[in-house]
Amino acid sequence: MSHEHVSNTAGIWKVFAILSAVTIIEVILGILKPDFLHMNHLLGMNLLNWVFYILTVFKAYYIVWSFMHLGGEKSSLRWAIVLPVVFLIIYILFIFLTEGHYIYGVFKDSTIKWNF
């Protein structure tokens, strides 16, 4: 195997602590919904949702890099996995969300009455 066989139990528990802490923060924010985050918007999304998405990606990084040990693989494998996924996800989100917003506009501005 390509990586050395040193036990890294302490590191595993550290990552567990980080993931738990982030989840607890998410739940507290989700229940309290502080107004300064929930009522302020950036690029069409409120700050609270931005915080949630950033924390989610933060957790995903620790799961993939530490638990799945991608951080310890060769850089060719790392890039072969991460690059297509990141690129395609950003691409599909851009297309789908733009389209969804467009259809919303069509419904809103059309002469069809939706709630009859």
Partner 1 sequence: MEATVTTANSEDKTWGGGNEPMGASYGKMMMWFFIMSDALTFSGFLAAYGLSRFKFIETWPLADEVFTHFPFLHGVSAPMYYVALMTFILIFSSVTMVLAVDAGHQMKKNKVIVYMFLTIIGGLIFVGSQAWEWKNFIKGEYGAVETKGGSLLQFVDKDGNRVALADFASTLHGERVQHTSNKGTWFLSEGELPSYSLAEVQAGFKAHPELSVRIESIYEATPDNVKDAKINHDLSKFKHKTVLSREESISRLADGHYVVEGANLIRNEYGNKLFADFFFFITGFHGFHVFSGVILNIIVFFNVLIGTYEKRRSYEMVEKVGLYWHFVDLVWVFVFTVFYLV
13 binds partner 1 (CB under 8 A): yes
37 contributes a contact to partner 1 by CB under 8 A: no
Burial annotation 33-70 (CB, 10 A radius, 16+ → b, else e): eeeebeeeeeeeeeebeeebeeeeeebeebebbbeeee
Q: b or e along 18-32 (b: 16 or more beta carbons within 10 Å of the residue's beta carbon)?
A: ebeeeeeeeeebeee
H/E segment holding residue 51: helix 47-62
Among 34, 40, 71, 99, binds partner 1 (CB under 8 A): 99
Residue closer to partner 1 (CB basis): 76 or 110: 76
52 contacts partner 1 (rule: CB under 8 A): yes
Binding site for partner 1 (CB under 8 A): 1-2, 5, 7-9, 12-13, 15-16, 19-20, 23-24, 26-27, 29-31, 38-39, 49, 52-53, 55-56, 59-60, 63-64, 66-69, 73-74, 76-77, 80-81, 84-85, 88-89, 92-93, 96-97, 99-101, 103-104, 107, 114-116
